[in-house]
Structure 1
Amino acid sequence: MATENRIEDVYRRRTGAARRRSPPGTGGHHARLVGRDERTAKNGKTGATAASIQVRSNFQDQHDLIVSLDPELNNYVFQQEERLFQIWYPDSFMRIIGADSIITTLGPSHKHIRNLVLRLFGPENLRRSMLQEVQKTAQASLLSWLDRPSIEVKETISSGRKNVMKMLKELLDERKRAPGHQGSSIDFIDVLMEELNEEKPTMSENAALDLVFLLLFASFETTASAITAVLTFLTHNPEVLQELTEEHNYIQKRRVDPNSEVTWEEYKSMKFTSHVIYEALRLANIAPVMFRKATEDIHMKGFTIPKGSKIMICPSTVHLNPVVYTDPNIFNPWRWKDTVEPTGGASKDFMAFGGGLRLCVGADFAKLQMAIFLHCLVTKYRWKAIKGGTMVLSPGLQFPEGFHIQLFPKA
């Protein structure tokens, strides 16, 4: 594979590298690929390795980089977050988000900001208010799709973020002029206003808006990709769609009023829906790579990862590993039936939401959005694929031709 020619040994650039044993794998002076078995090293082909190498070709920053295809190393990095490893991003990414972005905060600052976000996305607020808000949004979105000859799913879902930053800035200014907002639920502007009004706030107004931007990106962009992936898989797997529909019809039939809102208990009872979501996230690999940096020399499996080495974690190498998942390239939600789903959304065998201290803070919210969207969809509508649906990691999940559908009300 041509990209493999650019994978070079990080260790030869370091003083004393010849005296210590570096991780096995191919490599040179910019990046080292570790974690492949003998068969893969010969032919360069397996779903996981091919995807990971394709991702590497999109990051050309001149850094010492270890591309980890080793599930054990990936999990170890997450478990040792802020002890032996810390967050790191390529220069190309930092130029987009800004060098002072709060996404790079460490230690107590990161913990404080995470706790702020959990006031919005934590289980209590999801149950108390977000569940109803998500359902209203899903119902309104689907209703707007009717009578349109074609809907490009991802673009339509993610279009809601347009002009949102301007609106949020205006809302923040309004709250500053009229403090003491009273509402039936906590919104993130309330949380930020409390923080900004502290005697010694931990963030500036610009940093607060930056945080909102990152949350919006996660909410709109990644969830839109995930929902598009789910609809693509359901379109090509009618037996899965049938069981999913039966689950939601059963929930609806048990209600006194079939049109009443989804309750928290009903949401938690959506077992097959949860299997569908986990399976779609496993195959789609919406976050195909994650970056960390070693803060000291790491000794593992008889090898040394030098201090300062950058590591690119590839979850797809776990998600598409035939040892972990039988027939890994097959969309099979039933595989989760006899498997305990990852506590908190992550485990050593499932890394769609990352792991460790930096496990995606919106993981529960993302799953809620997807489940409620599917409930509103399959109980009231059917759809026909028009064109597109091809998925590519480049490096994030992309739909080069989009995924166009037409929506119809059920009789």
Structure 2
Amino acid sequence: MVLHTSVVRMWSVWISIITLLLAVVIHWLYRWRNPKCKGKLPPGFMGFPLIGETLDFMVSNKSLDMPTFVKKRMKKYGPIFRTSLAGRPVVVSSDPEFNYYIFQQEGKLVERWYMDSFAKLLNQDATKIHAQKNIHKHIRNLILGHFGIGALKDNMLPKLEGVINQRLQDWSKLPISLEVKKSTAAMIFDFTAAHLFSYDAEKSGENIGESFTNFLQGLMAFPINIPGTAYHTCRQNQKKAINLITNMLEERKRNPDIRKGDFLDLLLADMKTETFLTEKFIIHMMFGLLLASFETISATLTLAIKLISDHPEVLQQLTEEHEAILNSRGDANTGLTWKEYKSMTFTHHVVNESLRLASVAPGILRRTIQDIQVNGYTIPKGWVLMVVPSAIQLNPNAYEDPLAFNPWRWQDISANVTAKNFIPFGAGMKSCAGAEFSKVLMGVFLHAFVTKYRWTATNGGEVTRSPVLGFGDGFVIQV
């Protein structure tokens, strides 16, 4: 009888414990699905605890269209909805008016923010420091001074044309076809690294630039850092670049009399007066600049080459424009001038249309620093805001037949439309300082490419979004 009573008590204890655990789990699930908010949250679904809807977000879409994840939820919830990605509550917005407003509220309602994988890649402390208003302004001015319009006009344009001509000549001599994304990424990496810290690809003994093919896709893969995974490969390639920059910095510090006239020289001079410019900050900031240039420009340039290859009428008008520039010169052997670059009206249309369709960044991220009211909803303080460029730039209300490659559409688009519906370089005070450099590089490349070379596509390169722009098995050409 005593034993029976003991067993009953034991079962009663276990039932109580299990009931308590179930109550805790149910409460936790309820709080996860229904986060605290002082008002009404935007509609949406928070997915599974911790994982959220991250796996759905990464599903590949075999089209230039916006990510399926965003498109489905826009249809169900409207242009502003909530979700959870990588364990964080996120509000996704494809509302042009709201996005325009948010970009004007830097430092007031929102602050720059990176997903954890990016923050680790660029160094968490460095990203926090860079987000501070005065520091960001200082760094932005340095970048504009070295890569902005003034630098492009004064000295960078002929150097850029020289590098592009040499690289295209090398490609034309290859006995086999080349993968465009990989090849353009390596070219842009080498050129940008040379201007940042005088990197010489030929002397390095290793083509580091080619290691960064589809780097952003690897970074956006599920962050499992074990050998064999895309994310692990991505991190290993990052280490190569970090070591390269570190070695350059240490060599320059050992030999302070060396002056190369590059971006690193500017930073080393500023280290004497700016306390935030630590070695660690400089190294990760320069890696961030490399990443922003070779990844985004190479993807857009690859798409542009693919699209003009698929549209002979565009290639014809592009070729005519550039041959007219050559024919108008007194000396055919002189290099491209800034005036000639600015005269490339149709080329600028092609570049803009490629940027619009590419929408390389899967999302522009900001974090709310106070509650934000929009359309009767409240976005709580501390939540992440994700502005989706593809949802804005492929909006049929702003662009007729938005998935069509139509450079001529830019003849009639007003500045009012582009201000809120064309954000390939972000918007507001923290738009990309390298915007003009990106467009000039593409324009100069197309100038040399269509006037001096012919090419044949040997692999079509199926366009995908995962949510990063990709090209399936690769877009391959024979030059």
Shorter-chain TM-score: what band? 0.7 to 0.9
The structure-2 alpha-carbon separation of the partners of 1:9 and 1:245, relative to structure 1 and needing over 3 Å to count, comes to farther
Match status 1:126 vs 2:144: no
- Partner of residue 382, structure 1: 454
Q: Tell me if 1:100 matches 2:125.
A: yes
For this pair of structures, how many residues does the alignment match? 378
| Aligned partner letter, 1:406 | Q
1:317 matched to which residue of 2? 391
Quote the Cα distance in structure 2 between the aligned partners of 1:46 and 1:134: 29
Tell me how far apart the structure 2 counterparts of residues 219 and 233 of structure 1 sit (CA, whole Å): 21
Does the alignment pair 1:150 with 2:206?
Answer: no
What does residue 21 of structure 1 align with? 40
Contact residue 111 and residue 131 of structure 2 kept, 8 A: no
Residue in 1 aligned with 2:309? 235
Letter of the 1:21 partner, please give it.
Answer: K
- The amino acid of 1:190's aligned partner reads D
Map 1:6-405 to 2 at 5 A: 12-16=34-38, 20-23=39-42, 25-28=43-46, 47-48=65-66, 50=68, 52=70, 60-102=85-127, 104-148=130-174, 149-160=176-187, 161=189, 162=208, 166-179=243-256, 186-196=261-271, 198-340=272-414, 347-405=419-477
1-structure distance, mates of 2:454, 2:84: 40
Q: Is the 8 A contact 1:10 1:65 kept in 2?
A: no
Whole-angstrom distance in 2 between the partners of 1:336 and 1:46 = 19
Amino acid at match of 2:367: K
- What is the Cα deviation at residue 180 of structure 1? 5.3
Deviates more, 1:293-302 or 1:350-359: 293-302
Q: Does the 8 A contact of 2:459 with 2:475 survive in 1?
A: yes
* TM-score (structure 2 length as normaliser): 0.73
| Cα offset, 1:301, TM superposition | 2.6
Offset at residue 350 of structure 1 (A) = 0.3
Which of structures 1 and 2 has the bigger CA Rg?
2
1:26 to partner: Cα distance: 3.0
Structure with more of its chain in helix, by fraction: 2
Q: For 1:101, what is the secondary structure of its paired residue? A: helix
TM-superposed deviation, 1:309: 1.8
Between 251-260 and 97-106, report the one with greater CA deviation.
Answer: 97-106
CA distance in 1, matches of 2:341, 2:243: 33
Cα distance in 1, alignment partners of residues 65 and 295 from structure 2: 25
Counterpart of 2:249 in structure 1: which amino acid? L
- Matched AA of 2:163: T
Inter-CA distance 9–400: structure 2 relative to 1 (3 Å threshold): farther
* Alpha-carbon distance in structure 2 between the residues aligned to 1:389 and 1:95: 31
- RMSD of aligned C-alpha atoms? 2.9
* CA displacement 1:70-90 (0-9 Å, x = unmatched): 222222221111110111222
Secondary structure at the residue paired with 2:361?
Answer: coil
Name the aligned partner's letter for residue 50 of structure 1: T
Return closer, same or farther for 1:404/1:15 CA change in 2, 3 Å cut-off. Answer: closer
8 A Cα contact 2:457 2:477, kept in partner:
yes
- Following superposition, the deviation at residue 213 of structure 1 comes to 1.0
**266-275 or 111-120: which moved more?**
111-120
Relative to 1, partners in 2 of residues 1:393 and 1:187: Cα closer, same or farther, differing over 3 Å? same
The residue type equivalent to 1:75 in the other structure is Y
> Offset at 1:134?
0.9
Between the aligned partners of 1:192 and 1:54, the Cα distance in structure 2 is 46
Judged with a 3 Å threshold, the aligned counterparts in structure 2 of structure 1 residues 157 and 54 are, in CA distance, closer, same or farther, namely: farther
TM-score normalized with structure 1 length? 0.84
- Given that residues 391 and 397 in structure 1 are in contact (C-alpha distance below 8 angstroms), is that contact kept between their aligned partners in structure 2? yes
Distance 1:62 1:102, change over 3 A: closer
Q: Is the 8 A contact 2:359 2:469 kept in 1?
A: yes
Q: Residues 10 and 128 of structure 1: is their aligned pair in 2 closer, same or farther, counting only changes over 3 Å?
A: farther
